[in-house]
Amino acid sequence: MSFLKTIQSFAVRNTRWVRLFFVIFYTVGVAGLSIKITTPLFIQLIPLALILGFVGVLLFHEAKFDRKTLLTFGIVFIVSFAIESIGVATGEIFGGYEYGKILGIKIAETPLIIGLNWLFLVYVTSSATQFFTDHKIISPVLAAAFMVLYDLVLEQVAPVLGMWNWENGIVPLQNYAVWFVLALLFNLCFRAMKIETRNKMAPLLFVIQFMFFLILYITNW
């Protein structure tokens, strides 16, 4: 049994504890960001939170990590990163914006973790829609809507967290339109490649992250 399989097996056997870990982790994150003396530290931990979420998805991925799956993951990562890089350079895709320093290593002024986060969101929204429908068209559209809803909330706190900043401090409507189109295309890609997203942790991680940013926004962080 491979190392990954061993870790996956351990995680699945302790699903309740893993779920509890993520709930506590993000709850502590909200608290840490709300206390002035610890705010700088917890802002620096945002990339770790995003990476841990992605690891959680991988550990509970029920299907095999075959070549088709890895290829599709790679396509979403590379294409989303490339589009973001072009967007940052030109200001023509999403609007004028620039990334801050807290998201880590950058290539072409775009943090590498951005491609990972796109892949994470496509996967978890695809997984979450299975609670409602598995229709070949409705499901990808619903997943794309979930992603836009997530971004709508995230955009309210991202500049304050130092993740990125918009030109003139205004999020253009085209950002949300492009998000929807890209999210839909990526979800349709998952569907076309028959990528299985059954996952006991993915929907929860989507809800937890969404609530994390929503609570920060509501409490006027």
* Tens digit of each residue's pLDDT, the chain (221 residues): 577 788 989 999 999 999 999 999 999 999 999 999 999 999 999 999 999 999 999 999 999 899 999 999 999 999 999 999 999 999 999 999 999 999 999 999 999 999 999 999 999 999 999 989 989 999 999 999 999 999 999 999 999 999 999 999 999 999 999 999 999 999 999 999 999 999 999 999 999 999 999 999 998 75
pLDDT in tens, 43-65: 999 999 999 999 999 999 999 89
Q: What percent of the chain has pLDDT over 90?
A: 92
Report how far residue 77's alpha carbon sits from residue 190's, in angstroms, rounded to the nearest whole number: 13
Checking 200-203 for CB contacts under 8 A at 24+ apart, the result is 200/12, 200/15, 200/60, 200/62, 201/15, 201/18, 201/19, 201/22, 201/56, 201/57, 201/59, 201/60, 202/57, 202/60, 202/123, 202/124, 202/127, 202/128, 203/124, 203/127, 203/128, 203/131
**In terms of residue numbers, what domain contains 137?**
3-218
- Enter the pTM of the model: 0.94
Domain count, the chain: 1
